[in-house]
Amino acid sequence: MVFRSALAILVAAALSGCGSGVDDLSLPPTILVTLRGHVDVTRVQAAAGGHPLNAALVWGADPSPLYQLYALCLKYASNADLQPACPDPFGFVPSQIEATTRVNADGSFDLPLIHLPDARVCVGTAPPLVAWGSLVVAADTDGSGTFDFFAPRKQGEYGRTPPTLADRVVAASFWSLQKPEQRVGYLEGTWNEAILGLFYPLPGCPTPRAGFSVLTAPGMTVDVSQGNLTPKPLPGTCTDEVATETVEATPLSGPDGRAFACRQVQDRLRVSQPPMTRPGINPVTGKPEKNSPEANDKQACLDATTLALISPGDCPTVQLYPLKGCGDQLSCQTPEWDLTKHVPVWWPCH
């Protein structure tokens, strides 16, 4: 009797498939948050030159790889040849492009996020971790249909060759610590000022909320001249809103937009021993060598013992030749080379 009942139940279940249904490996990701952005289209039309506008969330990088270049630019602030290669030390350094979309005709755009920021754009222990992002609008000047800071490198180009800009950055919600900004924040865990506070600091602002949020800040200033490096907030109000608040991308001038994109190139200063023959020049013929990136560089004597070769192009890079120094370091206690008493024949600085 029991066996028959069990059999009846099994047969009934077998014949009447039910359940909500399971998923296979094509299961799409859920959207973690949808960021809403806006740009004043009338103010960026001229810069866009009729090209369609793309928007992206761009997470910010740790700017420390640029510190040596900042220091060099500060040391030789009066050198006009060097300054075009100098990034804004208070500038947002773009890194990972997380989500992109086309900007609507009215300037609005939505960016659904399905992934957390990569570890390479987060600062902190795990947790707390923080990442800061900027909503960036760029004109699709390369016609690729996608948001690209730089064009792909051509065959034969190598590391020293400066990259060529692709799309034209025309607006960003966060581009300099010294300007009013709206940034996208991602905080994992509980805010810890000692660990997280120096990464794109927000002086005078409330503690960011956990998860994704939108922070509005008036910007900050640092009075370097008096040796006090403590950041001070500019007049204005800081707010920390939920991530669905609309973020306004501020129109940028052409040079500011170019400088914004170029800060993504962090390998912009190289320090090496001066060669015995002039870089980029064939020692036999005395003519520029073909395919040598140094052949077209601008030569700038920073002082009698320091030569800089500054590459032309969208994002100038600096090749520094100190007569005494260490590889890839601006200063060192024990120099790896000292040519001050054996100056190369071609050395142009006196």
Contact positions vs other proteins (CB under 8 A): 3, 6-7, 10-11, 13-15, 17-30, 32-33, 114, 116, 126-127, 129, 186-189, 209-212
Tell me the closest approach of the beta carbon of residue 182 to other proteins, in angstroms: 20
Which of 13, 74 has the CB closer to other proteins? 13
Which of 17, 286 has the CB closer to other proteins? 17
Tell me the closest approach of the beta carbon of residue 238 to other proteins, in angstroms: 21
Helix, strand, or coil (residue 75):
helix
Tell me the closest approach of the beta carbon of residue 15 to other proteins, in angstroms: 6
Tell me the closest approach of the beta carbon of residue 24 to other proteins, in angstroms: 5
* Omega cis (within 30) before 28: no
Spell out the residues 6+ positions from residue 331 whose beta carbon is closer than 8 angstroms to its own. Answer: 325
Spell out the residues 6+ positions from residue 2 whose beta carbon is closer than 8 angstroms to its own. Answer: none
Which of 3, 158 has the CB closer to other proteins? 3
Tell me the closest approach of the beta carbon of residue 306 to other proteins, in angstroms: 46
Distance, in Å, from the CA atom of 31 to the CA atom of 110, rounded to the nearest integer, reads 12
Which of 24, 106 has the CB closer to other proteins? 24
The token pair at 235 is 């007049």
Which of 43, 115 has the CB closer to other proteins? 115
Which of 33, 301 has the CB closer to other proteins? 33
Tell me the closest approach of the beta carbon of residue 116 to other proteins, in angstroms: 6
Which of 19, 235 has the CB closer to other proteins? 19
Helix, strand, or coil (residue 36):
strand
Distance, in Å, from the CA atom of 105 to the CA atom of 113, rounded to the nearest integer, reads 22
C-alpha distances in angstroms, 61 versus 40, 97, 200?
A: 27, 11, 10
Nearest Cα to Cα of residue 300 among 321, 275, 282: 321
C-alpha distances in angstroms, 333 versus 90, 273, 306, 327, 336?
A: 29, 16, 17, 12, 9
The secondary structure of 211-241 as a DSSP string is EEEEEEE--EE--GGGT----EEPSS--EEE
Tell me the closest approach of the beta carbon of residue 284 to other proteins, in angstroms: 55
The token pair at 250 is 């501020």
The token pair at 212 is 């994704």
